[in-house]
Amino acid sequence: MSDAIIEVRNLSHAYGDVLAVDNISFSVNRGEIFAFLGPNGAGKSTVINVLITLLSIQAGEVSIAGHDVRTAPDMVRRAIGIVFQEVTLDRDMTVREILEFHGRLYNLPREERRARIEELLALVELEAKRDARTKELSGGMKRRLEIARGLMTRPQVLFLDEPTIGLDPQTRIRMWDYLREVNRTGTTIFLTTHYMDEADHLSNRISIIDNGRIIVTGTPLALKNGLGEDVMYMETSDTAGTEDVLRNLAYVRDVRQKRNGTVFTVTEDGTRLLPAIMDDVRQRGIAVTAVNLKKPSMDDVFVHYTGRDLRDEGARKWGAGRGRSR
Amino acid sequence: MGGRAGEIPVNVGFATVYWRDMLRFFRFKTLLVSSLVQPALWMAFFGVAMSSNFDRLSAGVMPGAGIEQIGYLTFMGAGVIAMTTLFTSLFGGVVILFDKNWGLMRELFASPIPRTHIVLGIGLSGVTKAWIQSIIIMIFGLIIGVQFFAGYTPVDIAIAVLGILIFVGTFALGFLFLSATIAVSMESPEGLQGIITLLTLPIFFTSNALYPTTAFPPFLQALAVVNPLTHLINGIRFFAIGSSFSAIGIEFVYTPQIILTSYLVLLGFCVGTFLLSRWAFNRAEVT
Ligand SMILES: Nc1ncnc2c1ncn2[C@@H]1O[C@H](COP(=O)(O)OP(=O)(O)OP(=O)(O)O)[C@@H](O)[C@H]1O
Ligand SMILES: [Mg+2]
């Protein structure tokens, strides 16, 4: 048995004429936090829905925790927990009833159900809300309750479709803490997001997905370093001379004047090159008065690979996305 | 490792679905009260008004020797039970449409319980509601003068009520399965409402709920014969009134064969709609 708990090979999915997922392959290792990062309509939810057996698989192979979604969907269902993109809580059931219902659906014995509910209410800090109806919860509390529900059955993999969409920054950071905690106890996490920082800070590995295809996969660090585009800024006593020095270095590109300094990019890890560059400049008798080094952000990675900025789309989405609880 | 995911205990998923639906039923007090009061009101206004008319019209008709003459209110009491069951059951599937539109159905569809258990759970909760309503109507009816169980011993009454509940339960299940099938295949509540209304009217008016079907033209009579509502009403009248009686100047005779046939028709209808709902649920996709 390999280390992969999710194996996807050549998965495609179409809605009528619309090809939403176009021949993607990836695998997630046991114990990982793995993120799909992509703009609206990229196909993230479609992939998740096939993986969790809500959509029947059209083309390709998917195996979850060793079970094929095509031939053993029931085994897959028993092995996973799910947090859907939209809120799926009955407005008029209480927090405890939501968890109780889920536990019964999966046939947890009564004792285990009770114990598990207490344990999870403590984890997501909803003990005080145990008898509140879900319509009385804030957005963040609802999301926490849904995470607790997804964990009721001690799944091997927890799937989360945009877990923090619409939550305020503090709540999102708390949510990441919960998810890290869950992950520490051995649950593999597969999430989708269109938030750069979420993918960056929370996940061990990221696949950037756009137009139904995976464009690149890697750890956040590798993706950012892989761009090889560290941007540097340098102020010196002789700007023209500095420029001259820089142009003769093989790993320097795009030298430009900016205010009283020089901006340039380097094609290798800037933190290691900077001391040598400064030495070269000083050797020409030029004094270095200020330097700055900027590593590429996840945004830069995204723009680089998709040729688009995702921020505006993310902001727009928000209005339409949530609030579908009943 | 495989142990915790591997064991598949006996599945009682339908009991879980039933539990939740009952929870909702008793939580929404207005829904609860209105579903109980509405049939009583029907009985009170329509029944009393109509019976004063019909009883006057048929006052001169003398029944044959030894045949018990019953009032219109008693005749119609069975119809009100049946009609209430029909409405409640046909609308019973609406909850599925709501669950689907609000995304709640995803939790069920992505869980290991077989799809048929969703239908069964909703069906059983609908049957429970229909039983509660039927019992309320019977009690209320007896209070306002419906002569059900006249001259019965307590044991007779117990058997009669059981018989009525079995007929009501089978009929309700059949229409709940039908309603669930329509609901899971539809997108909007308006569409569902339209279809249900379209179904209710002909079912109701080609039945023997309010008047006997013997005077129907042949075409309508054929409809009445295949109409499950007619067969439910046959059963209720047989158990609540007796095997032979006369109402509105017409003699009714229910032999055990007729009643058995009526029950088999209901059972067949129930099995048929169950298979239909199983097919519809297995092919439904909810995302
Ligand atoms: N039920 C459906 N019927 C038809 N087309 C659909 C359906 N669901 C999704 N699509 C289309 O498939 C594509 C992928 O949609 P999907 O919901 O998977 O994207 P996503 O990455 O989850 O987007 P978002 O960030 O908005 O949730 C889109 O072009 C969308 O219009
Ligand atoms: Mg989505």
pLDDT tens for the 287 residues of chain B, in order: 333 444 445 568 899 999 999 998 888 877 778 877 887 887 778 777 777 777 666 665 565 656 777 888 888 888 889 988 998 899 888 889 888 888 899 999 999 999 999 999 999 999 999 999 999 889 988 888 888 898 889 999 999 999 999 999 999 999 999 999 999 988 888 888 888 888 888 898 888 887 777 778 888 888 888 899 999 999 999 999 888 888 777 788 888 899 999 999 999 999 999 999 999 999 888 87
Instruction: Give the separation between CA A236 and CA A277, rounded to whole angstroms.
Output: 12
**Per-residue pLDDT at A320:** 37
Check: CB of residue B122 under 8 Å from CB of residue B91.
Answer: no
Whether B3 maps to a domain, the answer reads no
Q: Is A18 in the pocket of ligand 1 (CB under 6 A)?
A: yes
Q: From the CA of A205, how many Å to the nearest CA of chain B?
A: 25
pLDDT one-digit tens code per residue, A116-155: 999 999 988 899 999 999 999 998 899 999 999 999 998 9
**Per-residue pLDDT at A321:** 37
Q: From the CA of A311, how many Å to the nearest CA of chain B?
A: 26
Select the residue of A53, A93, A154 nearest B23 (Cβ to Cβ).
A93
Q: What is the chain B residue with the closest CA to A109? A: B9
Answer positive or negative: Cα dihedral of B136, B140, B145, B151: positive
Confidence of residue A253 (pLDDT cuts 50, 70, 90): confident
**Per-residue pLDDT at B41:** 82
Domain ranges of chain A: 4-223, 228-295
A107/B2 Cβ within 8 A: no
Q: Is A318 in the pocket of ligand 1 (CB under 6 A)?
A: no
Q: HEC string of chain B?
A: CHHHHHCCCCCCHHHHHHHHHHHHHHHCHHHHHHHHHHHHHHHHHHHHHHHHHHHHHCCCCCCCCCCCECCHHHHHHHHHHHHHHHHHHHHCCHHHHHHHHCCCHHHHHCCCCCHHHHHHHHHHHHHHHHHHHHHHHHHHHHHHCCCCCCCCCHHHHHHHHHHHHHHHHHHHHHHHHHHHHHHHHCCCHHHHHHHHHHHHHHHHHCCCCCCCCCCCCHHHHHHHHHCHHHHHHHHHHHHHCCCEEEECCEEEECCHHHHHHHHHHHHHHHHHHHHHHHHHHHHCCCC
Residue whose token pair is 């995304």: B103
Nearest Cα residue to atom 12 of ligand 1? A20
**Per-residue pLDDT at B63:** 55
Structural fold of domain A4-223: Rossmann fold (3.40.50)
Whether B165 maps to a domain, the answer reads yes
State which residues form the domain around B150: 13-283
Give the CA count within 13 Å in the CB-facing half-sphere of A192.
Answer: 25
- Tell me, yes or no, if A15 comes closer than 8 A to chain B by beta carbon: no
Q: Is A261 in the pocket of ligand 1 (CB under 6 A)?
A: no
Residue A72, judged by CB atoms within 10 A of its CB (0-12, 13-18, 19+), counts as middle
Instruction: Give the separation between CA A150 and CA A175, rounded to whole angstroms.
Output: 14
Chain A residues whose CB is inside 8 A of the B20 CB are: 90, 93, 97, 101
Right CATH number for A228-295 from 3.30.360.10, 3.40.50.20, 3.30.70.260, 3.40.50.300?
3.30.70.260
Interface size, chain A vs chain B, as Cβ–Cβ contacts under 8 Å: 78
Residue B215, judged by CB atoms within 10 A of its CB (0-12, 13-18, 19+), counts as exposed
Select the residue of B9, B24, B287 nearest A107 (Cβ to Cβ).
B9
Whether B257 maps to a domain, the answer reads yes
Distance A15 CA to ligand 2 centre (A): 14
Closest among A240, A228, A224 to A273, alpha carbons compared: A228
Q: What is the DSSP letter of A84?
A: -
Whether B223 maps to a domain, the answer reads yes
- In the chain, the amino acid numbered A145 is L
Check: CB of residue A217 under 8 Å from CB of residue A205.
Answer: yes
pLDDT one-digit tens code per residue, A259-281: 788 888 888 888 888 898 999 99
Atom of ligand 1 nearest to the CA of A44: 21
Closest among B268, B96, B266 to B181, alpha carbons compared: B96
- Structure tokens given for B225: 């014969």
Q: Report the greatest alpha carbon distance in chain A.
A: 79
**Per-residue pLDDT at A310:** 53
Select the residue of B16, B27, B113 nearest A92 (Cβ to Cβ).
B27
Whether B2 maps to a domain, the answer reads no
**Per-residue pLDDT at A260:** 81
- The proportion of chain A whose per-residue pLDDT surpasses 90, expressed as a percent, equals 55
A 10 A CB-CB count for A93 gives 21
**Per-residue pLDDT at A307:** 72
Whether B83 maps to a domain, the answer reads yes
Select the residue of B4, B16, B285 nearest A105 (Cβ to Cβ).
B16
Q: Is A43 in the pocket of ligand 1 (CB under 6 A)?
A: yes
Q: From the CA of B19, how many Å to the nearest CA of chain A?
A: 8
**Per-residue pLDDT at A308:** 66
- Tell me, yes or no, if A74 comes closer than 8 A to chain B by beta carbon: yes
A154/B4 Cβ within 8 A: yes
ipTM of the prediction? 0.85
Structural domain total, chain B: 1
- Tell me, yes or no, if A57 comes closer than 8 A to chain B by beta carbon: no
Give CA separation, B35 vs A16, A174, B25, B136, in Å. Answer: 42, 45, 10, 10
Residue whose token pair is 């708390």: A174
Res. A55: pLDDT tops 50: yes
Select the residue of B13, B19, B110 nearest A52 (Cβ to Cβ).
B110
Residue A288, judged by CB atoms within 10 A of its CB (0-12, 13-18, 19+), counts as middle
Q: Is A42 in the pocket of ligand 1 (CB under 6 A)?
A: yes
Whether B8 maps to a domain, the answer reads no
Give CA separation, B7 vs A105, A106, B1, B245, in Å. Answer: 15, 11, 11, 59
Pocket test for ligand 1, best of A11, A18, A19 (most atoms within 8 A of CB): A18
Q: What is the chain B residue with the closest CA to A86? A: B103
Residues with CB under 5 A from ligand 2 (ion): A 44-45, 85
Mean pLDDT of A89-97: 94
Answer positive or negative: Cα dihedral of B281, B266, B33, B117: negative
- In the chain, the amino acid numbered A118 is E
Nearest Cα residue to atom 25 of ligand 1? A40
Residues of B with CB under 8 A from a CB of A: 2, 4-6, 8-9, 11-13, 15-16, 19-20, 23-24, 27-28, 98, 102-104, 106-113, 285-287
Q: Is A45 in the pocket of ligand 1 (CB under 6 A)?
A: yes
Check: CB of residue B168 under 8 Å from CB of residue B233.
Answer: no
**Per-residue pLDDT at B62:** 60
- In the chain, the amino acid numbered B27 is R
Distance A128 CA to ligand 1 centre (A): 37
Q: Which of A223-232, A317-326, B196-205 bottoms out in mean pLDDT, i.e. has the lowest?
A: A317-326
Mean pLDDT of A283-307: 85
Mean of the per-residue pLDDT values of chain A: 87
Q: What is the chain A residue with the closest CA to B28? A: A92
Q: At what angle do helices A110-123 and A139-151 cross, to 10 degrees?
A: 140
Whether B96 maps to a domain, the answer reads yes
Pairing of strands A33-37, A188-193: parallel
Check: CB of residue A108 under 8 Å from CB of residue A116.
Answer: yes
**Per-residue pLDDT at B7:** 47
